[in-house]
């Protein structure tokens, strides 16, 4: 069965995905897979039998989507669907808020890591990477706290006189009238609310000071920002998100640069940082013993 849909716009989105010429995805319509992923992402549907879905997809050898990997197309669609849904900050449920924060945080962390593996031939590339990563983790910790209750990420200065009583309290009201907890107080709040203790609180604190220095003054010249950013990302953040959500930074790298895995794993080796994933020639990364 061949796909008869036009898919004009989707074709432009899926055209850069990797080619798949084997396995269950061979010749299947990548544009259809993208559209389905988009729908699932928008609704935050995590449990979905992707293999079965792909088996039943129509085939397509047409246009720019020709030979594109439908699994990758589904995942890209899923990600874009989540981004689309997260535009609506009025989502009322804490699960939805936390989910949007999680995706945003993880995306900027991935972006930050890609910044620091670049040769520093562009000014401040590494400094911007360090800021992204620290900012991303701050959001992830808050996302974890929001899962318990959104109010718990705000400190006492929430200006509740401005929030009309009797009206449903929306997350936007909190953002407009409140002040979220400072970076330095997050480890304590995280522990108090969820019982989780950061793997290296000193590193969290030190990296926060570096981030402040970059934001308010200039990039420190005496430190290796790529090395510190890697340590912070893969000994603190990666460990936390593995445990909290069974998620990994590696999943988000491919959204921006599919070819960066080799370099990232080499750097981890060099720094003797141990993670639960390893380099894979075609997939980019895979879980160890999975």
Q: Using CB under 5 A as the criterion, which residues of the chain lie in contact with Zn ion when the complex forms?
A: 3, 5, 29, 31-32
User: Tokens 């402040």 map to which residue?
Assistant: 212
Is residue 1 helix, strand or coil? coil
For helices 249-256 and 261-270, angle between their N-to-C axes, nearest 10 degrees: 140
Distance in angstroms (rounded) separating the CA atoms of residues 274 and 238: 10
Q: How many CB atoms lie within 10 A of CB 114?
A: 18
Angle at 243 between CA 241 and CA 248, to 5 degrees: 40
Q: How far is the CB of 62 from Zn ion (least distance, A)?
A: 9
Of residues 27 and 247, the one with the C-beta less far from Zn ion: 27
Q: How far is the CB of 30 from Zn ion (least distance, A)?
A: 8
Backbone angles phi, psi at 120, to 5 degrees: -80, 55
Copy the structure tokens of residue 214. Answer: 């970059």
Of residues 76 and 264, the one with the C-beta less far from Zn ion: 76
Q: How far is the CB of 18 from Zn ion (least distance, A)?
A: 18
Of residues 29 and 109, the one with the C-beta less far from Zn ion: 29
Of residues 31 and 253, the one with the C-beta less far from Zn ion: 31
Q: How far is the CB of 38 from Zn ion (least distance, A)?
A: 13
Of residues 3 and 139, the one with the C-beta less far from Zn ion: 3
Distance in angstroms (rounded) separating the CA atoms of residues 19 and 30: 10
Where b means 16+ CB within 10 Å and e means fewer, 41-64 reads: bbebeeeeebeebbeebeebebbb
Q: How far is the CB of 2 from Zn ion (least distance, A)?
A: 9
Structure letter (DSSP) for residue 19: B
Of residues 31 and 91, the one with the C-beta less far from Zn ion: 31
């Amino acid at each position: 069965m061949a796909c008869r849909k036009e898919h004009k716009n989707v074709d432009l989105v899926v055209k850069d995905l990797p080619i798949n010429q084997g396995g269950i995805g061979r010749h299947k319509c990548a544009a259809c897979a993208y559209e389905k992923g988009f729908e699932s992402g928008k609704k935050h549907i995590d449990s979905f039998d992707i293999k079965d879905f792909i088996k039943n997809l129509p085939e397509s050898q047409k246009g720019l989507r020709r030979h594109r990997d439908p699994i990758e197309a589904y995942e890209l669609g899923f990600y874009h669907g989540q981004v689309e849904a997260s535009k609506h900050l009025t989502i009322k449920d804490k699960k939805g808020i936390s989910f949007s924060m999680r995706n945003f945080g993880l995306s900027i962390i991935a972006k930050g890591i890609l910044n620091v593996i670049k040769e520093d031939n562009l000014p401040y590339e590494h400094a911007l990477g360090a800021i992204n990563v620290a900012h991303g983790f701050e959001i992830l910790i808050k996302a974890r706290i929001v899962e318990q209750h959104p109010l718990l990420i705000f400190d006492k200065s929430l200006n509740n006189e401005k929030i009309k009583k009797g009206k449903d309290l929306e997350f936007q009201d909190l953002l407009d009238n409140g002040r979220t907890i400072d970076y330095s107080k997050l480890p304590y709040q995280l522990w108090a609310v969820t019982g989780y203790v950061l793997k290296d609180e000193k590193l969290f604190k030190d990296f926060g000071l570096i981030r402040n220095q970059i934001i308010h003054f200039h990039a420190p010249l005496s430190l290796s920002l790529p090395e510190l950013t890697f340590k912070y990302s893969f000994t603190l953040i990666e460990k936390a998100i593995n445990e909290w959500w069974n998620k990994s930074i590696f999943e988000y790298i491919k959204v921006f640069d599919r070819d960066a895995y080799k370099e990232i794993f080499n750097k981890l080796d060099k720094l003797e940082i141990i993670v639960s994933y390893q380099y894979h020639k075609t997939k980019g990364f895979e879980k160890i013993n999975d």
